Structure 1
Amino acid sequence: MSARFQPLAAYRDDAVVAIGEAGSRTTAELRRDVLAVAERLPAATEGSEVVIVCGDRYCFTVGVLAAWETGHGVALPPNTQPEVVRHLSRRSAVTLLLHDTDADEGADLRAWIAEGRARPPEPRELRAIDENRHVATVYTSGTTGDHQACAKTAGQLLGEAAVLGQTFGIGGGDRVLATVPPHHIYGLLFGILMPLLSGASFIRDTPFHAETVAATARRWGATALVSVPVHLRSLTVLEAGSLPAFHAVFSSGAPLPPATAAALIESHDLRATEVFGSSETGGIAWRVSETCREPWQPLPGIRVDVDVSGRLLLDSPFLPPTEARPYVAGDRIELLEDGRSFHLLGRSDGIIKIGGKRVSLA
């Protein structure tokens, strides 16, 4: 029998799910807004999707859960450039574009949420989501060519979010702040789905500049930071004491430079947890980085091996269900004596990441 996911099962009705400049929202309010938006969405058909582009993480979450409630998947653009969003929205499977802007195209989620509050729907629990159901299409950065679509089932996406919360000890007392936009799979997993599946709160705003990150974290009592190396580097120039004592600082999207890891420790006594993975594979491994030479530890449920040419062989519940195992990744590794932990030796295909984007050296 397949597993089923209930995204809000970790919360009491009065628990705060989202906080930020636009206000705090409880589980009951989130459920009400999701049901109100779901009533306004077109009926789902086989393979139908809704494109969601929102700066406010709460609006984004309402849109995602409403799409799932109605039977749609969601399509998340690789970036929010207008032409990219328009191109994605014209795909035959896409029924609607949801956003939180004043744009003429698509539907403004803010208006639909306000209408739902004026005429609330009949309260009920959200439907559970079968692990085999398609729930999202995310895209690679596309720097070396076209953006590659990566379809995700609930088992892949929500299963990974649940594992992340358990692995890193995220729970009901946590408030998660992300500097990564929610349409990026890293921002989606760590900034929204991990908190939801763990009963934690997420902060609605997405600050980028160091001073704004620090001010937002202090104002809303953030306990976990989801970021990328370039943003973490900018935080190292802030005065000591300007950041709260995060119990978790996550870094992904590109390798963390050793100098940044060392500066975080020296300036703020913070140790970054690096997460290694990709849009195609999901998360693979993690390490707490002080020198950036520590071995990588596979996430629970993941098995790694190495082929004769040194390439990473992967068996993971976060891979597509139809993907042959072992999956041959484009990364070269040195597998250590315990048969699990490993060192990354670089890519076998000439791809590197600069600022979170893939660049080919070929």
Structure 2
Amino acid sequence: MKTNFYSLFSQNLNFSLEENEKEIDNQEILKKIETLKKNLLNISTNWKNKEVYLDIKDRKLFIFMFLALQSLEAKIVLIPIEIKSEDYICFDKIFISDNKNIDNFIFINDDLTLKVGKNFLFSESINENDHLLYLYTSGSTGKPKLIPKTYQNLITELQELKKIFDIKENDTFYFTIPLYHIYGFLFGFLLPLYTNCKLIIDYNFTPETIADFVEKKQISYFISIPSYYKMLVNLNLIEKFRKCKMLVSSSAPLSYEISAEFFKKNIKITEVYGSTETGGIAFRISAIKNDWQLFSYVKIINNNCDYYENDENIKELIIDSPAIYGKEKYYNTGDIVKLSDANKFSLIGRNTRFVKISGKRVDLQYITEKIKEYFYQISCQKITDDIIYIGEIDEKVFVIYENEFPQSNSEMKNELKKHLPGYAVPRYFFSMKIPKNEMGKINKNKINEIVLKIQENKVENK
């Protein structure tokens, strides 16, 4: 019985990698894994149930190390590049990196040798739960959370994706996204491994080189994000993807206009809706139909939405799914949906102040609290919610404050960078009255008009 992805790899003999025109077949991958296992066992003979934090950016090294640690039954924690070190570095944990040569880390070299930092101590603590690995959320509350996943959580979604995408063993995969988030990890690595396919791991850094590469290699499944698809449209590169069986998009909404431009060339982009916590929830091709189709294993929990009492088909999207870890499987996504039938829905809006910026979920309320704390430290005056407003437009965060700002905009930005991910630091700062309607509620339309006018004039706070 397969219990981890090393066991799966050992049986899926057609799974292979390709880099720089060189194929690395299953047996060659196995040799690399055995080399790494030997090197790891020279450090300690017992890795079972040890939490190991992986900070490996090279795709090939990541895959080899992941499978080696799986074979040793370690519990792996994937570290995204945007996570601040203060949020994860703890000197009683085990860290392996290919980009941070720190005294208490293990450093992996390109030749698979391991350099042990002079202050490295092998942790004696063990984790005996059923978690296979941990993934960080993108930081929806400003501070990322660790989400556990079991083997069954992940296999459940992989089985569904194989069925939806109709993947065959001679197909090839190529991706542009990092492996340390759920989307890249699942679609860019585990899905080709599970389906016994070839995964091409070359790096291409511009839309033009990516498009040429996909065309040349006749990629079957291209995995990317909306911002890349937008660039491919703007640069007239859609034709390069004609031979793909499917393009996949996730992490942020893909506009109908972009989907439609590809569809005009008979190229379908399948969007997948989900999160680190929930795994995949639904999919669609918006150029064909706007509704989302639920994954077969997902159930929507019946509830009444307070915001739309007169329409019984509008619900908060609370789901039950075996892709969610834990005994209590119900999860409130924060989205409001309209059901078109038992298995389909359209997105109406959100019931929280979460927004997405560069594919990352950001909590505007958390940013508000951080700014209020920062202003209080400077002025010793408490800031009330009625004189400050944090918003987002075109993936840029802005601040409206009814008093004078305590420091220059550049000083505030530099200070906030210490407490917030770069993409969550406000771009614009306005000292003005918060626009409100006649009922005393914030006039978001008026606010957006003001910010858009600033953008059109290409004025940015410095």
| TM-score (norm: length of structure 1) | 0.84
Q: Does 1:329 align with 2:325?
A: no
2:244 counterpart (243, 246, 256): 246
1:111 aligns to what SS in structure 2?
Answer: coil
CA distance in 2 between partners of 1:326 and 1:11 (Å): 33
Query: What residue is the counterpart of 2:346 in the other structure?
Result: 343
Classify 1:58/1:133 alpha carbon distance in 2 versus 1 (closer, same or farther; 3 Å): farther
Deviation at 1:146, TM superposition (A): 0.6
CA distance in 1 between partners of 2:110 and 2:155 (Å): 25
1:71 counterpart (60, 70, 73): 73
Classify 1:320/1:202 alpha carbon distance in 2 versus 1 (closer, same or farther; 3 Å): same
Q: In 2, are the aligned partners of 1:283 and 1:299 still within 8 Å (CA)?
A: yes
Q: In 2, are the aligned partners of 1:306 and 1:335 still within 8 Å (CA)?
A: no
Query: What residue is the counterpart of 1:352 in the other structure?
Result: 355
Segment of structure 1 superposing worse, 145-154 or 186-195: 145-154
Classify 1:361/1:25 alpha carbon distance in 2 versus 1 (closer, same or farther; 3 Å): same
What is the correspondence of 1:138-177 to structure 2 with a 5 Å cutoff? 138-177=135-174
Query: What residue is the counterpart of 2:50 in the other structure?
Result: 48
Classify 1:40/1:158 alpha carbon distance in 2 versus 1 (closer, same or farther; 3 Å): farther
Q: Does 1:133 align with 2:136?
A: no
Percent of aligned positions with the same letter in both sequences? 26
Deviation at 1:254, TM superposition (A): 0.4
CA distance in 2 between partners of 1:306 and 1:111 (Å): 54
Q: Does 1:188 align with 2:185?
A: yes
| CA displacement 1:11-63 (0-9 Å, x = unmatched) | 33xx3511122732101111221122122223445752222233332221111
What 5-or-longer segments of structure 2 have no aligned partner? 115-128, 306-314, 366-462
Query: What residue is the counterpart of 1:260 in the other structure?
Result: 258
Classify 1:47/1:17 alpha carbon distance in 2 versus 1 (closer, same or farther; 3 Å): same
Classify 1:252/1:182 alpha carbon distance in 2 versus 1 (closer, same or farther; 3 Å): same
Q: Does 1:298 align with 2:294?
A: yes
Q: Does 1:307 align with 2:303?
A: yes
| CA displacement 1:257-276 (0-9 Å, x = unmatched) | 1121122223x432110000
1:24 aligns to what SS in structure 2?
Answer: strand
Deviation at 1:294, TM superposition (A): 2.0
Letter in 2 for 1:265: F
| Larger RCO, structures 1/2 (Cα 8 Å, 6+ apart) | 1
Query: What residue is the counterpart of 1:110 in the other structure?
Result: 110
CA distance in 2 between partners of 1:85 and 1:62 (Å): 24
1:202 counterpart (185, 199, 213): 199
Count of matched residue pairs: 335
CA distance in 1 between partners of 2:47 and 2:62 (Å): 22
1:285 aligns to what SS in structure 2?
Answer: strand
1:193 aligns to what SS in structure 2?
Answer: helix
Letter in 1 for 2:346: H
Query: What residue is the counterpart of 1:128 in the other structure?
Result: none
Deviation at 1:234, TM superposition (A): 0.8
CA distance in 1 between partners of 2:343 and 2:79 (Å): 34
Letter in 2 for 1:19: E
Q: In 1, are the aligned partners of 2:259 and 2:285 still within 8 Å (CA)?
A: no
2:147 aligns to what SS in structure 1?
Answer: strand
CA distance in 1 between partners of 2:209 and 2:244 (Å): 16
Deviation at 1:312, TM superposition (A): 1.2
Classify 1:255/1:44 alpha carbon distance in 2 versus 1 (closer, same or farther; 3 Å): farther
Q: In 1, are the aligned partners of 2:19 and 2:200 still within 8 Å (CA)?
A: yes
Letter in 2 for 1:270: I
1:97 aligns to what SS in structure 2?
Answer: strand
Q: In 2, are the aligned partners of 1:53 and 1:98 still within 8 Å (CA)?
A: yes
Deviation at 1:185, TM superposition (A): 0.9
Query: What residue is the counterpart of 1:31 in the other structure?
Result: 30
Deviation at 1:290, TM superposition (A): 0.5
1:234 counterpart (227, 231, 235): 231
Segment of structure 1 superposing worse, 23-32 or 103-112: 103-112
Q: In 2, are the aligned partners of 1:51 and 1:89 still within 8 Å (CA)?
A: no
Letter in 2 for 1:155: Q
Query: What residue is the counterpart of 1:127 in the other structure?
Result: none
1:68 aligns to what SS in structure 2?
Answer: helix
Classify 1:278/1:240 alpha carbon distance in 2 versus 1 (closer, same or farther; 3 Å): closer
Deviation at 1:284, TM superposition (A): 0.7
CA distance in 1 between partners of 2:81 and 2:38 (Å): 28
